[in-house]
Amino acid sequence: MSKQGILARGIYEFEDPSGTLLAAKIPHTGTADLYDRTRIVVAPNQYAVFVYNGQIADVFGPGNHEVRTENTPLLTRLANWKFGFESPLRAEIWFLSRQTFSGRRWGTSTPILANLPTVGSVPLRAYGNFNVRIADPKAFLAGLVGRKAVFDLQELEDLVQGQILENLPKCLQDVKEIRDLGLKQEAISEKLESATNPILRKFGIEVIEIQVLSITPTKEIMEALEERIAMDIVGDPRTYLVYKLANSLDALTQNPSGQKTDPSQLMMTLMLSKGLIGNEAAFAPAAEAAPKKRIATGLQCPACYAYSSPDAAFCSGCGKKL
């Protein structure tokens, strides 16, 4: 058998046991030697791309392909290659994933500021899922992979998450109230997908669906909202404040940590609670204040100092004659 016949048995294929690689060059270093009838085995979830002298040539879909003039027109033209020569054509072979990577997570590492018309700027936290895939193998290879030997899912997730978080404040502009955040998650998801895909398609990728699972204010904002809702339910600010002070006093006297209660803090709580309970004028009109006690008048006993009526002959306290 001729040398050409022996080399024609060359087969290039790639399997990814991790399931997280979007692109891998075979072999990882150097180039592949392509002879006439060299076979390229492309799995159902893959693309195979030829790169010659830095230029992307032919793309193969799933199947068992032979490298021939009619099968690789762009590569043949770029290399000015005529098959049948014993010298191989040296080119890069890239295997790219066709699958959709689903259930990838995105989220805010720090709160983002959203400008809600009724309350102003509010810090929000959000998270959700997205599905992503390679839409254009050539654009993906040229725009993202570059000269790397492999490109994994983690690098792609960082890019997609960055675009989602950049567009999120803009997609929240139609939310008027904090209470509407949960009701408009589906609409926000659709806006995020529409705003993110035009940027991602420039790199040859696209998100199939972006899902917003939660958008909530920060802990401090939530506590303030809970206070406001509680006051609205109770209706009487004085009653609610007294209730809060009673809870605070109970927490001070029953310290679960075993540490000593600060006496000054306890005294201030007691004084404040006493002021709120006793100072009716702070919460009620002056007309509703309790009537003042009348000062007693009449004859005063020199022995017990008790008062009796002006016409009394004897003291009402001790019975002594007046």
Provide the angle, in degrees to the nearest 10, between the axes of the packed helices 153-171 and 185-201.
Answer: 130
CATH number at residue 201: 3.30.479.30
Q: For residues 114 and 212, state if they share a domain.
A: yes
Considering 201, 218, 235, which residue would you say is the last residue of a domain? 218
The kind and range of the H/E element at 129 are strand 120-134
pLDDT at position 232 is 59
pLDDT along the chain (322 residues), means of 10: 43 91 92 89 95 93 91 89 74 95 94 80 91 96 90 94 94 84 90 96 95 85 59 58 59 57 55 53 47 55 74 74 74
Q: For residues 17 and 61, state if they share a domain.
A: yes
- 149 within a domain of the structure (yes/no): yes
Q: Which domain holds residue 40?
A: 3-97
Q: For residues 125 and 210, state if they share a domain.
A: yes
- 213 within a domain of the structure (yes/no): yes
Q: For residues 78 and 105, state if they share a domain.
A: no
Please name which of 135, 119, 292, 305 lies closest in space to residue 203, comparing C-alpha atoms.
135
Other C-beta atoms closer than 10 Å to the C-beta of 16 total 17
pLDDT at position 45 is 92
pLDDT at position 249 is 56
Considering 188, 218, 248, which residue would you say is the last residue of a domain? 218
Number of domains in the chain: 2
Report pTM. Answer: 0.65
Other C-beta atoms closer than 10 Å to the C-beta of 272 total 14
Give the contacts of 12 (CB within 8 A, at least 6 positions apart).
26, 32, 38, 39, 40, 41, 48, 93
Q: For residues 87 and 129, state if they share a domain.
A: no
Q: For residues 92 and 112, state if they share a domain.
A: no
Considering 218, 253, 274, which residue would you say is the last residue of a domain? 218
Q: State the amino acid at position 279 in one-letter form.
A: N
